[in-house]
Amino acid sequence: MISLATAIPVALAGCDGNSAGEKTDGVTNIGFLAPAPRNDGGFTQYALAGVQAAVDADPTLKLTSIVDNAAESQQQIDGLTSLAAKNKVVVADGAVLNKAVAVVAPKYPDTHFVLIASDLESLANNVSSVTVAVGLNAIVAGAVASNQSKSKKIGMIAGPEVPSSTAWYYGMKQGAAAENAQTQVSQAYTNDYNDVGKAKQAAEAMIANGVDQILSDLDSGSTGIYQAADGKAGTGVYNVFALHCDDNPNIIGSGIVNWSDVLKTAVTEAAAGKLPAGAISFGLKSGALSYQFCPGKGTDAQKALAEKITSQISDGSITPAEGVLLPKPSYAYEQR
């Protein structure tokens, strides 16, 4: 076990075999890899915007390379290898990339890898895993959805079944129970954040079983949920990461996750050698999370409920249930 006090900041000097990752001419090169398209309208797009914001704010930073659509494991390993050879900081944007980072990072000790939305199994001195406690937002969303539901059946649809997605389910389950102990919560995984057809099928199956409130932990795949909800009176949809109120009239609100700010902070600190190796989780206190309603949506009672649940989470009155938070790794960990 390594305490936070002994977490190793990654500010490594160049060594033979990895000179391409050094600062050159006072500029820190940054590479970005994602398994999804860069313009997916969700997680990847917001993360990339955060990296770009860090670069725009500091003339000594340069985003040199973007590799997206790296859906297969070998593509991910090859992409990270290529980026690590010529960048001092490499952002691996996606929970499914933890295995690829574990393979590539030891080969490039002078490159700082910033793994987003997942942790490694063991500490690597040149890897910072950056996560957001999305399950806390899900508690609030679950309470609101339960209050909105007439059938007292709500659901969550995500892409791959990874801890950062199951946290939305467990959080919704806890929040729904806090609002009404009789509320049932379903979950479904399409294994693809952007497959509209699979998302529509999953949503149609839930609606057929009586679910009338659905949270979408998807990117462009959310369109499938909108299509399934259209024409179904009383069916509400909830997003994650950002408000998409104009995309569909059924959208009630969103568990906002400000990935752009998180990525901007992480990249800025990594480039300056101030982002520690180990695991870093952004929570409510960091300002990375909030629940917001779309304009004209949400009753006064629901808005009061959201504020109440948020306050109770913040002051510790509500303790996250099992599965709501990502498991703490057995190495350096920092909660922000």
User: Are residues 126 and 271 located together in one domain of the fold?
Assistant: yes
Give the whole-angstrom CA distance, residue 206 versus residue 212.
8
Q: Which of 8-12, 103-107, 108-112, 143-147 shows the lowest mean pLDDT across its residues?
A: 8-12
Phi first, then psi, for residue 89 (nearest 5°) are -125, 130
Q: Domain for residue 335, yes or no? A: no
Determine the Cα angle at 81 with ends 275 and 67, to 5°: 85
**Beta-bridge mates of residue 273:** none
CA 249/CA 63 separation, integer angstroms:
37
Q: Please report which confidence band the pLDDT of residue 90 belongs to, taking 50, 70 and 90 as the band edges.
A: very high
Asked if the structure places residue 110 within a domain, the reply is yes
Domain membership of residue 246 (yes or no) is yes
What's the pLDDT score for residue 49? 97
198 in a structural domain: yes
Residues 86 and 215 in one domain: no
Please check whether residues 142 and 216 belong to one and the same domain: yes
The answer to whether residues 319 and 232 belong to one domain is: yes
Q: Per-residue pLDDT for 186 more than 50?
A: yes
Is 14 in the same domain as 139? Answer: no
Please tell me the pTM assigned to this model: 0.74
Q: Report pLDDT digits (tens) over 242-262.
A: 899 999 999 999 999 899 999
The pLDDT score that the predictor gives to residue 160 is 93
Which residues lie closer than 8 Å to 168 by C-beta, 6 or more apart?
134, 135, 138, 141, 156, 158, 215, 217, 240, 255
The answer to whether residue 143 sits within a structural domain is yes
Q: Are 217 and 254 in contact (CB under 8 A)?
A: no
Residue 284 confidence (pLDDT): 77
Same domain, 320 and 217: yes
Q: Is residue 155 part of a domain?
A: yes
Q: Is the per-residue pLDDT at 279 higher than 90?
A: yes
Q: CB of 118 within 8 A of CB of 95?
A: yes
Question: Given a cut of 80, is residue 13 above it in pLDDT?
Answer: no
* Least trusted range by pLDDT, from 23-37, 44-58, 87-101, 199-213: 23-37
Q: At what angle do helices 196-208 and 222-229 cross, to 10 degrees?
A: 40
CA gap 243, 290 in Å, rounded:
11
How confident is residue 42, by pLDDT bands cut at 50, 70 and 90?
Answer: confident
- 330 lies in some domain: no
Cβ neighbours around 135 below 10 Å, total: 30
Q: What is residue 164's predicted lDDT score, i.e. its pLDDT?
A: 85
The reply to whether 147 and 55 lie within a common domain is: no
What is the rounded distance in angstroms from the CA atom of residue 66 to the CA atom of residue 234? 42
Structural domain that includes position 155? 134-256+287-324
Q: How many domains does the chain have?
A: 2
The verdict on residue 25 lying in a domain is yes
Instruction: Please indicate, yes or no, whether residues 55 and 165 belong to a single structural domain of this protein.
Output: no
pLDDT score for 24: 58
Domain containing 114 — which CATH number?
Answer: 3.40.50.2300
Whether residues 62 and 180 share a domain: the answer is no
Q: Are residues 10 and 84 in the same domain?
A: yes
Residue 18 has pLDDT above 50, yes or no: no
Tens digits of residue pLDDT in 132-159: 999 999 999 999 999 999 999 999 999 9
113 and 177 in a common domain: no
Let me know: does 171 contact 320? Beta carbons within 8 Å. yes
pLDDT band at 19 (very low <50, low <70, confident <90, very high): very low
DSSP state of 67: E
Residue 68 and residue 114 share a domain: yes
How much of the chain, in percent, has pLDDT values that exceed 70? 93
